[in-house]
Amino acid sequence: MSIQIESWEKAAPADLLPAMNHLRDSFDSAHFNFGWTTTQLCYWRLHDGTLRLGTRDIQPYVDTLQALKARVGPEATQRFVKLLSKETPPAIFKAFYDLYMDGLKFQLNLIFNGLLQIGLANRSRILQDPVEWARSLSEDLVSYCRHRIPLWIKGVCDEQPWDPNETTEEQIFWRKWQAPSFLIMEPSRFGVYDPGRAWERNDQETSGKWLDAFSDDYVLILGIELKNAAGTAALKQAMTPIIEEKPKETQVNQTFNVHGPNARVNIDSTDNSTNIVNQGIPFSELRKAIESGVADGVERATILERLADLQMATDRESGSKRYQTLIASAHHHMALIGPYLPALGHWVHNLAASLT
């Protein structure tokens, strides 16, 4: 799965983009690995050992949790264990939310440092201070993935009901979701913990404000992490002597770097063509998951046919209809296709509106 961010595509010469995109995609992987594992386990703990729909065994997620804790280190792990021991809904929620954030912080530091090294090695080509260049791109990456936080919160609290009569937007974003009150109780937030009101539901407007607050919190937490990383890098850079070299005579060549799908060069002309590219969308991963995870041959063929129809969509109207048809055909296998739906829904939402 790959994510596309406009600022990243324009930030450097074409030959640097493969390395940069590798770093960018690692953040998407961190969101998936930490996000999906904590979703499963947090839901399981909040609902007294009840598994999410379609999940047959919690043990694989318990095993993965050990690897994730090793990745974030002993300090973060100790905080997680201490919170989980309180066994209240807000403490359980915060334990897994903080572990999710710790995993993202760890990966974000790797990404920032990787970008910094690229910037330092190509200072004359990026035409910007390497520290600020790496920090700006990392901040854009955090902001781009902001929408994942409300999806995670809803997923650990509830199962989204499937209603074929709902709009595509509601099926994707679940705007009608009502938040339980424990989200803002101590130690998750500052409200007094009241066991009798912990699962009391709130109206749609209040729920939306709480989700926005958690999304802002996500940006703030990772922004502080980046500020500290950038400050440390700037200090190190300022303390490193600069060795000046005499400029060498160079031959001036005119080079056109053409890359990416449907690339073209236009000289003294205007390009009015239109590209439709399904780059970075998890169609191949989902296709493999369906082929290996759906036992019934007829049902598997039907779902794969619906997925192929969706992939051929060229505008938002047809994409929305085909997205609904895909979900309807695979509603018995939501545990299998569920991890891919946010990316597919986001892609459908970003398709150009129909001109007809």
Confidence bin at 270 (pLDDT 50/70/90):
low
Contact 53, 170 (CB under 8 A): no
Q: Domain range spanning residue 309? A: 283-350
Q: Looking at residues 284-290, what average pLDDT do you find? A: 84
pLDDT in tens, 222-267: 999 999 999 999 999 888 887 766 666 555 555 545 444 444 555 4
Whether 186 and 309 share a structural domain: no
| Residue-by-residue DSSP string for 105-159 | HHHHHHHHHHHHHHHHHTHHHHTS-HHHHHHHHHHHHHHHTTTHHHHHHHHHH-P
pLDDT of residue 279: 44
Percent of the chain with pLDDT over 70: 87
15-52 pLDDT tens trace: 999 999 999 999 999 999 999 999 999 999 999 999 99
Flag whether the pTM goes above 0.85. no
Interacting residues of 78 by C-beta distance below 8 A, sequence separation 6+: none
Do 291 and 205 share a structural domain? Answer: no
Which one is predicted more confidently, 1 or 317?
317
Minimum mean pLDDT range among 68-77, 97-106, 190-199, 252-261 = 252-261
Among residues 238, 270, 293, the one where a domain terminates is 238
What's the pLDDT band for 132 if we cut at 50, 70, 90?
very high
Same domain, yes or no: 213 and 71? yes
- At residue 4, the pLDDT reads 62
Q: Would you place residue 173 in the very low, low, confident or very high pLDDT band (cuts 50, 70, 90)?
A: confident
Q: What pLDDT is recorded for position 196?
A: 96
Among 176, 204, 238, the domain-final residue is 238
Note the pLDDT of residue 51.
96
pLDDT of residue 102: 97
Query: 2 or 31, which is more confident?
Result: 31
Helix-helix angle 74-84:59-72, to 10 degrees: 130
In sequence order, what are the residues at sequence separation of 6 or more whose Cβ sits closer than 8 angstroms to the Cβ of residue 106?
Answer: 30, 71, 72, 73
- How much of the chain, in percent, has pLDDT values that exceed 90? 58
| 293 and 177 co-located in one domain | no
Q: Which residue, of 203, 238, 273, is where some domain finishes?
A: 238
The pLDDT value given to residue 2: 53
Band (324; pLDDT cuts 50, 70, 90):
confident
108 and 216 fall within a common domain:
yes
95 within a domain of the structure (yes/no):
yes
CB-based burial, 128-140: b 16+ in 10 Å, e otherwise: eebbebbbbbbbb
Rg over CA atoms, the chain:
23
In a domain, 254, yes or no: no
Q: How many domains does the chain have?
A: 2
14 with 130, same domain: the answer is: yes
Could you give the CA distance from residue 355 to residue 346 in angstroms, rounded to a whole number?
Answer: 20
pLDDT over 60 (residue 136): yes
**Is 154:207 a contact under the CB 8 Å cutoff?**
no
- What pLDDT score does 237 carry? 85
pLDDT of residue 353: 60
* Residue 123 falls inside a structural domain: yes
Residues 96 and 203 in one domain: yes
Q: DSSP letter string over 41-94?
A: HHHHHHTTTPPPTT---SHHHHHHHHHHHHHH-HHHHHHHHHHHTT-SHHHHHH
Q: For 283-293, what is the mean pLDDT? A: 84
Cα separation, 106 vs 118, whole angstroms: 19
Q: Does residue 27 share a domain with residue 167?
A: yes
Q: Would you say residue 205 lies in a domain?
A: yes
Burial class (CB in 10 A: 0-12, 13-18, 19+), 261: exposed
In a domain, 309, yes or no: yes
Q: Are residues 94 and 195 in the same domain?
A: yes
DSSP reduced 3-state for 180: strand
Asked if residue 263 belongs to a domain, the reply is: no
Considering the domain architecture, whether residues 107 and 210 belong to the same structural domain is answered as yes
Is 1 a domain residue?
no
Mean of all residue pLDDT scores within the chain: 86
Same domain, 91 and 187: yes
Is the pLDDT at 12 greater than 60? The verdict is yes
pLDDT, position 356: 43
Which are the contacts of 271, defined by CB distance < 8 A and separation ≥ 6? 264
Chain centroid to CA 289: 19
Would you place residue 156 in the very low, low, confident or very high pLDDT band (cuts 50, 70, 90)?
very high
Q: Cα separation of 250 and 332, whole Å?
A: 64
Do 77 and 212 belong together in one domain?
A: yes
Is 255 contained in some domain? no
